Amino acid sequence: MMTKEQSKAHLFAPLTIKSVTLKNRIGVSPMCQYSCEDGMLNDWHLVHLGSRAVGGAGLIIIEATGVEPRGRISPWDAGLWSDQQVEPIARISRFLKQYGAMPGIQLAHAGRKASTARPWEGGHSLSNEQGGWETIGPSALAFGQEISRVPREMTIGDLRTVKESFRAAAMRALEAGCEWLELHAAHGYLLHEFYSPLSNKRQDEYGGTFENRIRLTIETARVIRGVWPDRLPFTVRISCTDWVDGGWTIEESVELSRRLKTEGVDLIDCSSAFNTPDYAAIPFGAGFQVPFSERIRREAEILTATVGYITNAMQADGIVRNGRADVVLMAREMLRNPYWAFTAADILRHKKEPPSQYARAID
């Protein structure tokens, strides 16, 4: 039965987490642009993200941002391993807040999927001669197909270094004015590589059992929560299933979400897959990942976000109204229409609040 609080929720209802309030439940999912030099965000990112703030989204999450140079997907990824990278992000944070959007950032490490060309250049592994670098992962297993570089199995010292990199990047994100922090533990990147049995074949305390495989994700969340203010939302994106027999499951995701909640995580961003190059079993379709966010929300008793093939206002509003997720994140649809929130407001008969410069045309 729907609770009284759930019955009041809808796509344009505010959402308060800790000391911050989203003006609506519409979020821009982190989308890699592969357009940085030395990890520095630039004018492209200001326009790309800023236009979605002007367009009415309540939450905008800056793309996967590498916590160390070897943790980038490509040489053109965003980064936060240097103090020099703070101000370009701060510039964007200020603009997003000026137009009513919550500025968020996703901290990431690509693990064995690092050192690749940009998607439009083939997405293949880059050799050292092509500007690539040594990659690391839980085990010496390549991702496969075009990502053929075999990672070096991480030592305990490597694990300490990576956790410290996440801690330092979280502190820089705070300095840059971000008020929503997401830990990327999905899509076949480093933390997902550890908790999935498909990519983790270790025999030490970080491999084998469920408890061991989730250890790095839990420890990294704990390190970040130790420096990220309790007053600000801390979220984790996970792949809720590998969609492969013998891989990570939704049941394990529910239990991981429970554990993350005890570590001070406020919301689970529910995605799936991409830890193998075989996508044949994924049932791509409208809202295909919504059942994951609904189940984790109910069974782990934690706020959730959902993402994936959510395109129209009634669909998004229904997800929130029916308690299937608390935030709806969109990527491709936001690329097609940065002003999607205004279109949705018309359809749902909700008052629009465009910037003064646009009001005559949009009202």
Beta bridge mates, 16: 21
Nearest to 308 by CA among 281, 282, 276, 342: 282
- The secondary structure of 163-196 as a DSSP string is HHHHHHHHHHHHHTT--EEEEEE-TTSHHHHHH-
Amino acid at 28: V
Beta strands in the chain (DSSP E): 15-17, 20-22, 26-28, 59-66, 78-79, 102-108, 136-137, 152-153, 180-185, 234-239, 267-271, 303-307, 327-330
Beta bridge mates, 179: none
**Helix (H/G/I), strand (E/B), else coil: 83:** helix
Angle subtended at Cα 70 by Cα 223 and Cα 119, rounded to the nearest 5 degrees: 115
Is residue 287 within 8 Å of residue 305, measured between CB atoms? Answer: no
- The secondary structure of 88-155 as a DSSP string is HHHHHHHHHHHTTPEEEEEEE--GGG-SB--GGGT-PBPPGGGT----EESSS---BTTB-PPPEEPP
CA distance 331 to 160: 33
Which position among 189, 195, 206, 339 bears the catalytic label? 189
Q: Is 189 a catalytic residue?
A: yes
- Return phi, psi of residue 327, to 5°: -135, 140
Instruction: Report the catalytic residues.
Output: 189
